[in-house]
Structure 1
Amino acid sequence: MIRAIVLDIEGTTSSLTYMRDHLFPYSRQRLVPWLREPPPGAAASVAEIAAEIRARLGAPDASVDDMADALRGWIDDDVKEPALKSLQGLIWRHGYASGDLVSHVYDDVLPALTRWSGQGAALHVFSSGSVLAQQDWFRHTGSGDLLHFFSDHFDTRDPGPKADPASYRSIAARTAADPAEILFCSDSRPELDAAREAGWRTLGVQRPDGAATRTEGHRTVTTFEGVEL
């Protein structure tokens, strides 16, 4: 019996291409202005993030330009750096609020969330994007506000890396769910392997327009249609 479902976002519920073509460029263009002069209400958060970036670089006196160069490199290399994800989340929040951004989910996601929640499953998200970014993503989709479907959100800052079985054990403990009753859906084999090692059930997702990911060894689907508890 599946009592909890944990969903990845990029390549699973949502198009990775859409993120790379819309969200990543949007944040990239705003790195320097945000680091130099954050919008009202964001200054304290950005200062904390800047301190993390300087610590990560081992350069306590790094300039805004130096930090922006590092962030651009992390974006280009798809580095799952928590400080980058936090700053992107803040930038995207302003983009959603202004109407500049609308997030993407595949057409089968809303029916699946409705079906699973109606069957009594608790729904969660575990993504490399910050919790803030995850919440805004599901609040502002082309299918409407889907945030109410989810009980909790987890990122690589807490509980940790997505390819580490300890992260999945932590999530199971915090949701008070039996690992054997949790289903993890992702397009990444290392993540699926880690979840399985933690005792979870797994479902690989390979979207037709997604990256050439590999999910061998795991049951794999191209759509959530027909995926029942």
Structure 2
Amino acid sequence: MIRTVVLDIEGTTSSLSYVRDHLFPYSRQRLETWLRKPLPEVAEIAAEIRARVGDPDATADALADALRGWIDADVKEPSLKSLQGLIWQDGYASGELVSHVYDDVLPALKRWTEQGATLYVFSSGSVLAQKDWFRHTGSGDLLPFFSGHFDTRDPGPKADPASYESIAKQAAAEPAETLFCSDSEPELDAARAAGWRTLGVQRPDGAATTVQGHPTTDSFDGVDL
């Protein structure tokens, strides 16, 4: 019996193309503006980026250039994710952004909750971005379905089995009763190495690579726990 479900976002609950075609360009256009904002959380993020690039005197323009390089290379850098989360939060609040989830997600969340499962999210996007994503979907506010959120700051990289061990401890979940759903084979491998059960999600509009060595589905419609 599955008692805990942990979900990836991009390519799993939501379209990869929406993130790449809408959210990334939205944040990319606003990097310099936000890096100049006199906010404590932005100052902390800027300090992290300066440390990461090895230039303590880097200007906002130079930092933005570094971030654009990371975006282009799809680098899962926590400081980038944190700044994107702030930018997207502002976009959701203004109504400029509405996040995407597949049509089968809301029925699945309802069904799994009724079956007694506890639901979590583990994504490379910041916890702030995750919460805003599920709060502002085309299917309504889905945030109440989730009991917690994890990103690459806590517990760590998604391809590291130790991250999944940490999540299980924090969620007080039995690994053998925990299901991780993702479109990424390395992530699924790491979860399985931590003793979790896995489900590869292969959306028709998703990544070109296929998940091997794990049970797979193209929809949550038939997934019962």
State the TM-score, normalized to the length of structure 2: 0.99
How far apart are residue 214 of structure 1 and its match? Answer: 2.4
How far apart are residue 118 of structure 1 and its match? Answer: 0.6
Unpaired runs of at least 5, structure 2: none
2:173 equivalent to 1:182: no
Deviations 1:140-171 (A, max 9, x none): 00000000000000000100000000000000
What's 1:128 paired with?
124
Query: 71, 86, 90: which one pairs with 1:90?
Result: 86
What's 1:24 paired with?
24
Letter in 2 for 1:159: P
RMSD: 0.6
What's 1:150 paired with?
146
Unpaired runs of at least 5, structure 1: none
What's 1:117 paired with?
113
Identity among equivalent positions (%) equals 80
Kindly indicate whether the alpha-carbon contact (under 8 Å) linking 1:4 and 1:182 is maintained by their aligned counterparts in 2. yes
Query: 98, 103, 128: which one pairs with 2:99?
Result: 103
SS where residue 185 of structure 1 aligns? strand
How far apart are residue 98 of structure 1 and its match? Answer: 0.2
Kindly indicate whether the alpha-carbon contact (under 8 Å) linking 1:8 and 1:125 is maintained by their aligned counterparts in 2. yes
State the TM-score, normalized to the length of structure 1: 0.97
In 1: Cα distance, 2:202 partner to 2:57 partner: 43
Alignment: residue pair count: 225
In 2: Cα distance, 1:164 partner to 1:89 partner: 23
Query: 51, 72, 75: which one pairs with 2:68?
Result: 72
What's 2:212 paired with?
216
Q: What stretches of structure 1 move > 2 A for 4+ residues in a row?
A: none
How far apart are residue 65 of structure 1 and its match? Answer: 1.1
In 2: Cα distance, 1:155 partner to 1:106 partner: 21
Kindly indicate whether the alpha-carbon contact (under 8 Å) linking 1:187 and 1:213 is maintained by their aligned counterparts in 2. no
